[in-house]
Each structure stands twice: as structure tokens, then as C-alpha cells.
Amino acid sequence: MEPDLFHQESPKEYKKAIVVGASSGMGKELVKILVKRGYNVGITGRREHLLKELKEGYPGRIFYKAFDIRDLSKTTRSIRDLIKSLEGLDLLVLSSGVGFLNEELDTEPEFQTIYTNVTAFTDIMTFTFRYFLKHPPGHLVGLTSIAALRGNKSAPAYNASKAYQSNYLEGLRQKSKKQKLKITVTDIRPGFVATDMAKGEKLFWAASPEKAAKQIYSAIRRKKGIAYISKRWGLFALLLKIAPRWMYDHF
Ligand SMILES: NC(=O)c1ccc[n+]([C@@H]2O[C@H](COP(=O)([O-])OP(=O)(O)OC[C@H]3O[C@@H](n4cnc5c(N)ncnc54)[C@H](OP(=O)(O)O)[C@@H]3O)[C@@H](O)[C@H]2O)c1
């Protein structure tokens, strides 16, 4: 029988996690599972009232900091404050991200995607990897996307930014393995998940955020390198990878 990964635990000592981008969607659902599984959790996002609401559901188990990850003067300082409140860190999950359908190729949405998904992502990943170097072991998790695998005519910056994230995480994973560091790096690649972020009319195989979060937690627990969410998207990924360019260009 499959063990129940999600039953309530009362550990002697709580593990410590931060979820960046926990005010809604997959990040928020993952926080609920992490608390049940014996983590104290630091949560972030810009919408402070949503962070406060989540914290109030789990008295004493959640700390929050509201900030915009594009403001580099605040981000690492706020994460450091959360680590202090948690008295250490075992796991950081970066769920914050934006994406825009941008058929007109306006500059602003493209740049906003780069500031959030590339610049801020790099700021958080480098800071946390260096933290785990000094305080091993640690587990670094990024929510990238199946979009990392190919370009997209309607959201060029989004797919390009997700390819950057996946490659960046692969670099960190290789660095950790080569140098025998005690740092695990997991690339979570969701397909469609029914959150505010999922845009467009052609959604299919859309998982609920709750189901997605369960599978993300399972991938974290198993220390997977890459995980497709939901699992069936692994099949789609295979097709995306082998589709020849002449075929993909007409898709
Ligand atoms: N839903 C999908 O179909 C899908 C598919 C593939 C990949 N993903 C990826 O999964 C991740 C989570 O998305 P989701 O689907 O759960 O959508 P979501 O509900 O929109 O969650 C996005 C989170 O990112 C935070 N965020 C966005 N911009 C931010 C900023 N500048 N500063 C701080 N926080 C910011 C949001 O918080 P605030 O608004 O409060 O700041 C929110 O908590 C994203 O990286 C997304 O690219 C989603």
C-alpha cells in the first residue's frame, strides 16, 4: 500500500522552509502541506492580506514578509529575516512568477517577465545556494514550467524565461553533484494548473492547485531532480522534445 505522505505530524523539532510566492496558487497549497508535514514555513508575496490570512490559519507555524521580488534591495534582506525567525532553513521553494500573453509584442510585459522570472529568480537562487553552502544540507526548488522546453508565439518572454530557469537549476544541480555539496536542486515543471496564472482558452489536462501541490511535495520528499506536474505532462514533454522544428513551427 502507498504510504500516506500527507497525514498530520507532530515532530519533536520542526523543519524549516520558505515558500516565495505563497499568497496564491501552488505556493499557497504547498504551504498547507508543508505545515502538516512538520515544517515551520516563511511565506512571501506582495499581497500582504493574503499572507496574513494564511498565517492566521496555522498559529505559531508561519512567518511572513510582504515584498516585491523585483525590488532587489529588499528581497535577500527579507529572506534573511525569515531565516532568522525560523532559526535556520532546510528548504526554499521559489514559486513566484509572472507570464503574459503578448500577441502585440509590447515591450513592457516582456521586461516585467524578465525582471521577475530571470533577474529576481537569479537573485534568490544565488543567495539561497550560497546560504546552503555555509549551512548544509539544503534543498532548493524552483517552479519552472513545461514551457521551458520550447518557444511560444503568444508569450515569447515567458517560455524563454522558463528555459533560463530550468537551465540555471541544472547548472546548480551539476555544481552541487560535482563538488559533492549537500545541496539538492529540484526543477518542478508544471503543465497547466488551474490558478490565476493559467491564461488562454486552450487549457487541457489542467490539475487543481491542491493536486499539483501534493505532487510537488512528493517530488521534494523524493529529492527528484526534475518533476512534471501533473505526471501525465511528462509524456507531453517527451513529444515536445522530439517534435521537429518544421512541425513545431506550424503548431
Ligand atoms: N498555473 C500554471 O498553469 C503554471 C504552469 C506552469 C508553470 N507555472 C509556474 O508556477 C509558479 C506559480 O504560479 P501559480 O500558477 O501558482 O500562479 P499564481 O497563483 O498567480 O501565483 C504566483 C505567485 O507569485 C507571486 N508573485 C508574482 N509576482 C511577484 C513579485 N513581483 N513579487 C513577489 N511575488 C510575486 C504572487 O504573489 P503576489 O501577487 O501576492 O505578489 C503569487 O503568490 C509560477 O512561477 C508559474 O510560472 C504555472
CATH of the domain at 101: 3.40.50.720
Cβ-based neighbours of 183, under 8 Å, separated by 6 or more: 129, 132, 133, 136, 137, 138, 139, 140, 172, 176
Atom of ligand 1 nearest to the CA of 116: 31
| Ligand 1 centre distance from Cα of residue 13 (Å) | 30
Q: What's the grid cell of residue 146? A: 513545461
Q: Pick the residue with more confidence: 1 or 60?
A: 60
Q: Which domain holds residue 151?
A: 15-248
pLDDT value at position 198? 86
Structural domain includes residue 5: no
Residue 3 forms part of a structural domain? no
Average pLDDT of 190-213?
A: 89
Q: Which residue has better confidence, 100 or 201?
A: 100
pLDDT band at 127 (very low <50, low <70, confident <90, very high): very high
Cβ < 6 A, ligand 1 pocket: 21-27, 45-47, 68-70, 95-99, 116, 143, 145, 190, 192-193, 195-198
Mean per-residue pLDDT for 132-156? Answer: 98
Atom of ligand 1 nearest to the CA of 162: 47
Ligand 1 centroid to Cα of residue 96, in Å, is 4
For residue 7, being part of any structural domain is answered with no
Where residue 200 falls among pLDDT bands split at 50, 70, 90?
low
Mean pLDDT of 16-32: 98
Nearest to 70 by CA among 123, 5, 139: 123
Mutate to test the pocket of ligand 1, among 29, 46, 119, 208 (most ligand atoms within 8 A of CB): 46
Output the pLDDT for position 201.
62
Rounded to two decimals, what is the model's pTM? 0.95
Tell me the C-alpha distance between 40 and 42, whole Å. 7
The total of structural domains in the chain comes to 1
Residue 101 reports pLDDT greater than 90: yes
C-alpha grid cell, residue 61: 507555524
**Which one-letter amino acid corresponds to residue 194?**
A
Task: Please give the mean pLDDT across all residues of the chain.
Answer: 94
* 97 CA to centre of ligand 1 in angstroms: 4
Instruction: Give the per-residue pLDDT at 251.
Output: 81
Please write the tens of the pLDDT for every residue from 179-194: 999 999 999 999 999 9
